[in-house]
Amino acid sequence: MPPRRYADVPTERRNDALDGVADESAKTPGRPALGLANISLAFGGVAALREINLEVEPGEILAVIGPNGAGKSSLLNIVSGLYRPDRGQMWFGEHSFRDVPTTKLAALGVTRTFQNLALFKGLSVFDNVLMGLAHRVRAGFLRQIVGSPLARRIEAENHAAAEEVIESLHLTKARDRLAGALPYGVQKRVELARALVARPKLLLLDEPFAGVTLAEKRELSLHVRNARDSFGAAIVLIEHDIGVVMGLSDRVAVLDYGRKIADGTPDQVRADPAVIDAYLGVAHEDDKELAI
């Protein structure tokens, strides 16, 4: 079979394209950082995602919004390999997957934060952030080179990267504190630091601003934008605060009952009657917050 490229696979055929592992033969520049084709997922009788098609370009900030239970977290969980889709195909640049091996995520340049924090509560902030670089050297290789100049250099580089991101996210005072002992807003920042330290190509953020103060929200938003501006990360941001969404994102996709009901610029989406009907027209938890 000749190598298939993303552009060569018609939308209606993407379901059955390139099953399983990454297709190393299909290397074409200009691919989206993330492509989803016909992704569907059900839990028993509940359809969490229905035929989702979505692309995120390198350097693009895509917000995913929608009511509670719309399927937003399920989408990120599929992209990060925690859930396996019933149908569909995913593309990370030139790599294609039916279900994403979590072990390959970091090597693909994908990092994420969780709606409910997933820090190592018994480790310091510094060690948590360092975990974001744990994939850089395989354990077996590390054992072979332990104590060598190479091992020391890798360790020094990783430590310097962790220190840099800790400083830029204003976590220096908390550097040696146990993550679990910190206020919620600070823990959210530590999780973002851990996701940023490897300078990901694709950054997946599940409600990174939920439950933080307005001032923290403004500051965290700047760090998210900076990840795009300074190293060109593509970002998928799940967020309920419409002010933040409109101010931060280049494009907005709207989910409702597992379907994508809109996908466009913030202004297009805000004016879309279907979106107003499904989401914007009704009160939701953060609608009193101000824009950044």
Ligand X SMILES: Nc1ncnc2c1ncn2[C@@H]1O[C@H](COP(=O)(O)OP(=O)(O)OP(=O)(O)O)[C@@H](O)[C@H]1O
Neighbour count for residue 181 (Cβ, 10 Å): 13
Q: Which is nearer to ligand X, 203 or 255 (CB)?
A: 255
Is residue 80 involved in binding ligand X (CB under 6 A)? no
Chain residue at closest Cβ approach to Mg ion: 73
Ranges within 45-64 binding ligand X (CB under 6 A): 46, 48
| Residue 47 beta carbon to Mg ion: minimum distance, rounded to whole angstroms | 16
Binding at 66: pick from Mg ion, ligand X, none (beta carbon under 5-8 Å per type): ligand X
Is residue 68 involved in binding ligand X (CB under 6 A)? yes
Binding at 243: pick from Mg ion, ligand X, none (beta carbon under 5-8 Å per type): none
What would the 3-class secondary structure string for the chain be? CCCCCHHHCCHHHHHHCCCCCCCCCCCCCCCCCEEEEEEEEEECCEEEEEEEEEEECCCCEEEEECCCCCCHHHHHHHHCCCCCCCEEEEEECCEEECCCCHHHHCCCCEEEECCCCCCCCCCEHHHHHHHCCHHHCCHHHHHHHCCCHHHHHHHHHHHHHHHHHHHHCCCHHHCCCEHHHCCHHHHHHHHHHHHHCCCCCEEEEECCCCCCCHHHHHHHHHHHHHHHHHHCCEEEEECCCHHHHHHHCCEEEEEECCEEEEEECHHHHHCCHHHHHHHHCCCCCCCCCCCC
Is residue 73 involved in binding ligand X (CB under 6 A)? yes
| Residue 73 beta carbon to ligand X: minimum distance, rounded to whole angstroms | 3
Q: Which is nearer to Mg ion, 62 or 133 (CB)?
A: 62
| Size of residue set near ligand X by CB under 6 A | 12
Q: Which is nearer to ligand X, 46 or 222 (CB)?
A: 46
Ranges within 63-122 binding Mg ion (CB under 5 A): 72-73, 115
Q: Which is nearer to ligand X, 45 or 149 (CB)?
A: 45
| Residue 204 beta carbon to ligand X: minimum distance, rounded to whole angstroms | 12
Is residue 115 involved in binding ligand X (CB under 6 A)? yes
Stretch near ligand X under the rule CB under 6 A, chosen from 40-48, 100-108, 135-143, 173-181 = 40-48
Q: Which residues contact 121 (CB under 8 A, 6 or more apart)?
A: 178, 179, 180
Is residue 33 involved in binding ligand X (CB under 6 A)? no
**Sites of contact with ligand X (CB under 6 A):** 43, 46, 48, 66, 68-74, 115
**Sites of contact with Mg ion (CB under 5 A):** 72-73, 115
